[in-house]
Amino acid sequence: MRHGVRLGIDPGEARIGVARSDPTGFLATPLVTVRRGKGDLARLARLVREEKATEVVVGLPRSLSGTEGPAAVKTREFAARLAARIDPVPVRLQDERLTTVSAEAMLRDRGKKGAERRAVVDQAAAVLILQHALDTERATGRPPGESVRGETVTGES
């Protein structure tokens, strides 16, 4: 298992959930929710620096059959812009099928209601994405998901 803090990101339409791992890569915990829009990539880049992250794992939304639709295309573009912004810190895409649904169910089971649940569901989804990536690496000995190469894209946030 590689050593170092990793950040997990669940990029939604309105909010971006962020989680972090401990330096041993054993446990993912919620960190913050970033509002989507102007300045979001700059805020994420600051978090990468502040947390001294060695890698960022971004959740890639796929359908249950594994195909990629418009949301996955947007996420790939977002991940490429983020990778260009935080280079040389690597960015990886991790399959995130059903993580938001699982996060919602977990929070509902813990008694979180309506607005209270919406405020943290993105962080909870980011925790699930990152924990799955950490567990996968521990089980296989290989970095999870797929690597993203940073590309300069016009209209960066």
Residue 91 and residue 84: Cα distance in Å, rounded?
9
Reduced to 3 states, what is the DSSP secondary structure of residue 90? Answer: coil
Query: In sequence order, which residues have a C-beta less than 8 Å from that of residue 88 and are 6 or more positions away?
Result: none
Q: How far is CA 147 from CA 31, 133, 153, in A?
A: 23, 13, 17
Model pLDDT for residues 121-153, shown as the tens digit of each residue: 889 889 999 999 999 999 999 999 999 986 544
| Average pLDDT value over all residues in the chain | 87
> In the predicted model, is pLDDT for residue 94 greater than 70?
yes
Residue 102 and residue 129: Cα distance in Å, rounded?
11
Query: In sequence order, which residues have a C-beta less than 8 Å from that of residue 51 and are 6 or more positions away?
Result: 5, 7, 20, 31
Residue 62 and residue 142: Cα distance in Å, rounded?
21
Query: Under CATH, domain 6-137 is a member of which superfamily?
Result: YqgF/RNase H-like domain (3.30.420.140)
**pTM reported for the whole predicted model:** 0.86
Model pLDDT for residues 20-54, shown as the tens digit of each residue: 999 999 999 999 999 999 999 999 999 999 999 99
